[in-house]
Amino acid sequence: MKNYLSLVKFSHTIFALPFAILGFFLGVNTDPNYFDFKLFAYILLCMLFARNAAMAFNRYIDRAIDANNPRTAEREIPSGLIKPTNALIFVIVNCVFFVFTSFLINKLCFLLSPIALIIILGYSYTKRFSALCHFVLGLGLALAPIGAFLAVTGQFGLAPVLYGLAVLTWVSGFDIIYALQDEDFDKSMNLKSVPVILGRKNAMKLSSVLHVLTGTLLVLAGYLISAQFEQLFWIHWSGAFIFIGLLIYQHFIISPQDLSKVNLAFFTTNGIASILFGFLVVFDFYF
Protein backbone atom coordinates (compact mmCIF):
# COMPACT_ATOMS: atom_id res chain seq x y z
CA MET A 1 0.00 0.00 0.00
CA LYS A 2 2.84 2.37 0.86
CA ASN A 3 4.42 1.76 -2.56
CA TYR A 4 1.16 2.44 -4.41
CA LEU A 5 0.53 5.63 -2.43
CA SER A 6 4.02 6.72 -3.38
CA LEU A 7 3.44 5.68 -7.00
CA VAL A 8 0.49 8.05 -7.37
CA LYS A 9 2.02 10.76 -5.15
CA PHE A 10 -1.13 10.69 -3.02
CA SER A 11 -0.04 13.77 -1.05
CA HIS A 12 -0.20 15.84 -4.27
CA THR A 13 -3.98 15.42 -4.32
CA ILE A 14 -4.08 18.65 -2.31
CA PHE A 15 -3.44 20.64 -5.49
CA ALA A 16 -6.84 20.09 -7.12
CA LEU A 17 -8.97 18.64 -4.32
CA PRO A 18 -9.75 22.00 -2.63
CA PHE A 19 -11.01 23.31 -5.97
CA ALA A 20 -13.30 20.29 -6.35
CA ILE A 21 -14.68 20.92 -2.88
CA LEU A 22 -15.08 24.60 -3.79
CA GLY A 23 -17.06 23.60 -6.89
CA PHE A 24 -19.30 21.38 -4.78
CA PHE A 25 -20.17 24.11 -2.28
CA LEU A 26 -20.64 26.66 -5.04
CA GLY A 27 -23.13 24.26 -6.59
CA VAL A 28 -24.91 23.80 -3.26
CA ASN A 29 -25.28 27.57 -2.92
CA THR A 30 -26.28 28.10 -6.55
CA ASP A 31 -28.92 25.44 -6.83
CA PRO A 32 -29.97 25.79 -3.35
CA ASN A 33 -29.51 22.14 -2.47
CA TYR A 34 -28.98 20.77 1.01
CA PHE A 35 -25.61 19.32 1.85
CA ASP A 36 -25.76 15.81 0.41
CA PHE A 37 -23.11 13.74 2.22
CA LYS A 38 -23.44 10.85 -0.24
CA LEU A 39 -22.94 13.10 -3.25
CA PHE A 40 -20.00 14.78 -1.55
CA ALA A 41 -18.44 11.35 -0.95
CA TYR A 42 -18.97 10.39 -4.61
CA ILE A 43 -17.17 13.55 -5.73
CA LEU A 44 -14.23 12.82 -3.43
CA LEU A 45 -14.09 9.25 -4.74
CA CYS A 46 -14.12 10.46 -8.35
CA MET A 47 -11.19 12.76 -7.56
CA LEU A 48 -9.34 9.89 -5.91
CA PHE A 49 -9.93 7.36 -8.70
CA ALA A 50 -9.20 9.83 -11.52
CA ARG A 51 -5.97 11.01 -9.98
CA ASN A 52 -4.83 7.49 -9.12
CA ALA A 53 -5.43 6.42 -12.70
CA ALA A 54 -3.68 9.45 -14.19
CA MET A 55 -0.56 9.28 -12.00
CA ALA A 56 -0.16 5.52 -12.21
CA PHE A 57 -0.61 5.58 -15.99
CA ASN A 58 1.98 8.32 -16.29
CA ARG A 59 4.45 6.24 -14.28
CA TYR A 60 3.63 3.16 -16.38
CA ILE A 61 4.06 4.93 -19.73
CA ASP A 62 7.22 6.74 -18.61
CA ARG A 63 8.89 3.77 -16.90
CA ALA A 64 11.73 3.53 -19.46
CA ILE A 65 12.27 7.30 -19.45
CA ASP A 66 12.27 7.38 -15.64
CA ALA A 67 14.83 4.58 -15.51
CA ASN A 68 17.28 6.69 -17.54
CA ASN A 69 16.76 9.88 -15.56
CA PRO A 70 18.91 10.04 -12.37
CA ARG A 71 16.22 12.16 -10.70
CA THR A 72 13.49 9.55 -11.24
CA ALA A 73 15.38 6.24 -11.45
CA GLU A 74 14.32 5.29 -7.91
CA ARG A 75 10.61 5.56 -8.63
CA GLU A 76 8.55 2.49 -7.88
CA ILE A 77 8.39 0.91 -11.35
CA PRO A 78 11.98 1.43 -12.58
CA SER A 79 13.33 0.39 -9.17
CA GLY A 80 11.28 -2.83 -9.23
CA LEU A 81 9.06 -2.10 -6.23
CA ILE A 82 5.97 -2.35 -8.44
CA LYS A 83 5.75 -4.47 -11.58
CA PRO A 84 4.58 -2.67 -14.75
CA THR A 85 1.72 -5.14 -15.22
CA ASN A 86 0.46 -4.52 -11.69
CA ALA A 87 0.64 -0.76 -12.24
CA LEU A 88 -1.44 -1.11 -15.41
CA ILE A 89 -4.03 -3.23 -13.58
CA PHE A 90 -4.15 -0.54 -10.90
CA VAL A 91 -4.86 2.05 -13.64
CA ILE A 92 -7.67 -0.02 -15.17
CA VAL A 93 -9.32 -0.68 -11.80
CA ASN A 94 -9.30 3.01 -10.92
CA CYS A 95 -10.71 3.94 -14.34
CA VAL A 96 -13.58 1.49 -13.89
CA PHE A 97 -14.33 2.80 -10.40
CA PHE A 98 -14.21 6.39 -11.70
CA VAL A 99 -16.76 5.72 -14.45
CA PHE A 100 -19.00 3.73 -12.12
CA THR A 101 -18.95 6.45 -9.45
CA SER A 102 -19.77 9.11 -12.06
CA PHE A 103 -22.76 6.94 -13.04
CA LEU A 104 -23.96 7.09 -9.45
CA ILE A 105 -23.78 10.91 -9.52
CA ASN A 106 -25.86 11.78 -12.59
CA LYS A 107 -26.25 10.99 -16.28
CA LEU A 108 -24.30 14.01 -17.52
CA CYS A 109 -21.25 13.23 -15.37
CA PHE A 110 -21.40 9.62 -16.53
CA LEU A 111 -21.52 10.61 -20.22
CA LEU A 112 -18.61 13.03 -19.77
CA SER A 113 -16.46 10.62 -17.74
CA PRO A 114 -14.75 9.03 -20.80
CA ILE A 115 -13.74 12.50 -22.02
CA ALA A 116 -12.22 13.26 -18.63
CA LEU A 117 -10.27 9.99 -18.77
CA ILE A 118 -8.99 10.73 -22.28
CA ILE A 119 -7.63 14.07 -21.07
CA ILE A 120 -6.00 12.90 -17.85
CA LEU A 121 -4.55 9.72 -19.37
CA GLY A 122 -3.61 11.35 -22.67
CA TYR A 123 -1.35 13.80 -20.86
CA SER A 124 1.23 11.04 -20.41
CA TYR A 125 1.88 10.92 -24.17
CA THR A 126 1.97 14.64 -24.93
CA LYS A 127 5.57 15.43 -23.96
CA ARG A 128 6.71 13.06 -26.67
CA PHE A 129 5.47 15.39 -29.38
CA SER A 130 4.40 18.75 -27.92
CA ALA A 131 5.59 21.35 -25.42
CA LEU A 132 1.90 21.93 -24.67
CA CYS A 133 2.10 18.98 -22.26
CA HIS A 134 2.05 21.39 -19.29
CA PHE A 135 -1.27 22.79 -20.46
CA VAL A 136 -2.81 19.34 -20.90
CA LEU A 137 -1.85 18.57 -17.31
CA GLY A 138 -3.43 21.85 -16.24
CA LEU A 139 -6.58 21.03 -18.22
CA GLY A 140 -6.89 17.70 -16.44
CA LEU A 141 -6.83 19.32 -13.00
CA ALA A 142 -9.03 22.17 -14.22
CA LEU A 143 -11.90 19.69 -14.52
CA ALA A 144 -12.11 19.45 -10.71
CA PRO A 145 -14.26 22.52 -9.90
CA ILE A 146 -16.26 22.21 -13.12
CA GLY A 147 -17.01 18.52 -12.57
CA ALA A 148 -17.95 19.00 -8.92
CA PHE A 149 -20.37 21.81 -9.86
CA LEU A 150 -21.88 19.57 -12.55
CA ALA A 151 -22.34 16.82 -10.00
CA VAL A 152 -24.47 19.08 -7.81
CA THR A 153 -26.43 21.10 -10.37
CA GLY A 154 -26.32 19.00 -13.53
CA GLN A 155 -25.32 22.06 -15.54
CA PHE A 156 -22.34 24.25 -16.35
CA GLY A 157 -21.76 27.57 -14.64
CA LEU A 158 -19.52 30.54 -15.43
CA ALA A 159 -17.96 30.79 -11.96
CA PRO A 160 -16.69 27.18 -11.82
CA VAL A 161 -15.40 27.55 -15.39
CA LEU A 162 -13.42 30.61 -14.30
CA TYR A 163 -12.04 28.64 -11.36
CA GLY A 164 -11.20 25.82 -13.76
CA LEU A 165 -9.32 28.22 -16.04
CA ALA A 166 -7.49 29.55 -12.98
CA VAL A 167 -6.43 25.99 -12.13
CA LEU A 168 -5.32 25.43 -15.73
CA THR A 169 -3.03 28.48 -15.79
CA TRP A 170 -1.82 27.88 -12.23
CA VAL A 171 -0.88 24.24 -12.76
CA SER A 172 0.61 24.87 -16.21
CA GLY A 173 2.74 27.66 -14.76
CA PHE A 174 4.16 25.68 -11.86
CA ASP A 175 4.64 22.57 -14.00
CA ILE A 176 6.84 24.63 -16.32
CA ILE A 177 8.90 25.63 -13.28
CA TYR A 178 9.16 21.97 -12.22
CA ALA A 179 10.24 20.94 -15.73
CA LEU A 180 13.27 23.22 -15.48
CA GLN A 181 15.00 20.45 -13.53
CA ASP A 182 14.90 18.09 -16.51
CA GLU A 183 15.72 20.51 -19.33
CA ASP A 184 19.03 18.85 -20.29
CA PHE A 185 17.68 15.32 -19.86
CA ASP A 186 14.57 16.06 -21.92
CA LYS A 187 16.76 17.41 -24.72
CA SER A 188 18.86 14.25 -24.69
CA MET A 189 15.72 12.09 -24.93
CA ASN A 190 14.08 14.31 -27.56
CA LEU A 191 11.21 15.07 -25.19
CA LYS A 192 9.23 18.27 -25.50
CA SER A 193 8.68 20.87 -22.79
CA VAL A 194 8.52 24.65 -22.53
CA PRO A 195 12.05 24.85 -21.02
CA VAL A 196 13.38 22.74 -23.92
CA ILE A 197 11.67 24.89 -26.55
CA LEU A 198 12.08 28.35 -25.00
CA GLY A 199 15.04 27.98 -22.65
CA ARG A 200 15.09 28.69 -18.92
CA LYS A 201 14.66 32.44 -18.92
CA ASN A 202 11.77 32.51 -21.36
CA ALA A 203 10.16 29.52 -19.65
CA MET A 204 10.20 31.44 -16.36
CA LYS A 205 8.69 34.47 -18.11
CA LEU A 206 5.87 32.35 -19.55
CA SER A 207 5.26 30.82 -16.14
CA SER A 208 4.99 34.33 -14.68
CA VAL A 209 2.49 35.37 -17.37
CA LEU A 210 0.39 32.28 -16.67
CA HIS A 211 0.33 33.04 -12.95
CA VAL A 212 -0.69 36.64 -13.64
CA LEU A 213 -3.61 35.15 -15.58
CA THR A 214 -4.35 32.87 -12.61
CA GLY A 215 -4.62 35.84 -10.28
CA THR A 216 -6.78 37.72 -12.78
CA LEU A 217 -9.16 34.78 -13.16
CA LEU A 218 -9.50 34.37 -9.39
CA VAL A 219 -10.40 38.05 -9.10
CA LEU A 220 -12.93 37.76 -11.95
CA ALA A 221 -14.51 34.69 -10.33
CA GLY A 222 -14.71 36.47 -6.99
CA TYR A 223 -16.29 39.53 -8.57
CA LEU A 224 -18.83 37.36 -10.41
CA ILE A 225 -19.82 35.51 -7.25
CA SER A 226 -20.07 38.71 -5.21
CA ALA A 227 -22.36 40.20 -7.86
CA GLN A 228 -24.42 37.01 -8.19
CA PHE A 229 -25.12 36.67 -4.47
CA GLU A 230 -24.98 40.42 -3.74
CA GLN A 231 -22.47 39.87 -0.95
CA LEU A 232 -18.88 41.00 -0.48
CA PHE A 233 -17.53 37.57 0.57
CA TRP A 234 -14.51 39.27 2.17
CA ILE A 235 -13.10 35.97 3.45
CA HIS A 236 -13.08 34.72 -0.15
CA TRP A 237 -11.17 37.82 -1.20
CA SER A 238 -8.67 37.25 1.62
CA GLY A 239 -8.09 33.72 0.33
CA ALA A 240 -7.64 34.95 -3.23
CA PHE A 241 -5.03 37.51 -2.24
CA ILE A 242 -3.17 34.96 -0.08
CA PHE A 243 -3.13 32.61 -3.07
CA ILE A 244 -1.83 35.36 -5.36
CA GLY A 245 0.79 36.34 -2.78
CA LEU A 246 2.10 32.77 -2.61
CA LEU A 247 2.28 32.65 -6.41
CA ILE A 248 4.42 35.77 -6.36
CA TYR A 249 6.58 34.30 -3.59
CA GLN A 250 7.47 31.18 -5.59
CA HIS A 251 8.74 33.34 -8.44
CA PHE A 252 11.02 35.17 -6.02
CA ILE A 253 12.65 31.99 -4.73
CA ILE A 254 13.25 30.43 -8.17
CA SER A 255 15.52 31.81 -10.86
CA PRO A 256 17.04 30.37 -14.06
CA GLN A 257 20.40 30.28 -12.26
CA ASP A 258 19.15 28.75 -8.98
CA LEU A 259 16.71 25.82 -8.99
CA SER A 260 17.57 24.66 -5.48
CA LYS A 261 14.14 25.63 -4.14
CA VAL A 262 12.03 24.10 -6.90
CA ASN A 263 10.52 21.53 -4.55
CA LEU A 264 9.67 24.25 -2.01
CA ALA A 265 7.92 26.23 -4.75
CA PHE A 266 6.25 23.24 -6.41
CA PHE A 267 5.06 21.18 -3.45
CA THR A 268 4.98 23.32 -0.31
CA THR A 269 3.99 26.75 -1.63
CA ASN A 270 1.36 25.51 -4.09
CA GLY A 271 -0.04 23.02 -1.58
CA ILE A 272 -0.46 25.70 1.08
CA ALA A 273 -1.97 28.11 -1.45
CA SER A 274 -4.57 25.58 -2.60
CA ILE A 275 -5.58 24.44 0.90
CA LEU A 276 -5.88 27.94 2.34
CA PHE A 277 -7.79 29.28 -0.65
CA GLY A 278 -10.17 26.32 -0.77
CA PHE A 279 -10.85 26.42 2.97
CA LEU A 280 -11.46 30.17 3.12
CA VAL A 281 -13.72 30.23 0.05
CA VAL A 282 -15.80 27.25 1.23
CA PHE A 283 -16.09 28.77 4.69
CA ASP A 284 -17.34 32.04 3.19
CA PHE A 285 -19.75 30.39 0.73
CA TYR A 286 -21.35 27.89 3.04
CA PHE A 287 -20.91 28.98 6.62
* SS3 at position 128: coil
Which residue ranges make up each domain of the chain?
2-286
Q: Is a pLDDT exceeding 80 seen at residue 12?
A: no
Per-residue pLDDT tens over the stretch 174-231: 999 999 999 999 999 999 999 999 999 999 999 999 999 999 999 999 999 888 777 7
Q: Is a pLDDT exceeding 90 seen at residue 286?
A: no
The pLDDT assigned to 16 comes to: 86
| CATH class label, 2-286 | mainly alpha
* SS3 at position 151: helix
Q: Is a pLDDT exceeding 90 seen at residue 38?
A: yes
The pLDDT assigned to 208 comes to: 95
Per-residue pLDDT tens over the stretch 123-150: 999 999 999 999 999 999 999 999 999 9
Instruction: For residue 66, give the nearest of 49, 53, 84 by alpha carbon.
Output: 84
* Phi/psi at 185 (5° precision): -65, -45
* Phi/psi at 255 (5° precision): -140, 160
Q: What's the pLDDT band for 2 if we cut at 50, 70, 90?
A: confident
Please state the rounded mean pLDDT for residues 92-121. Answer: 96
The pLDDT assigned to 33 comes to: 63
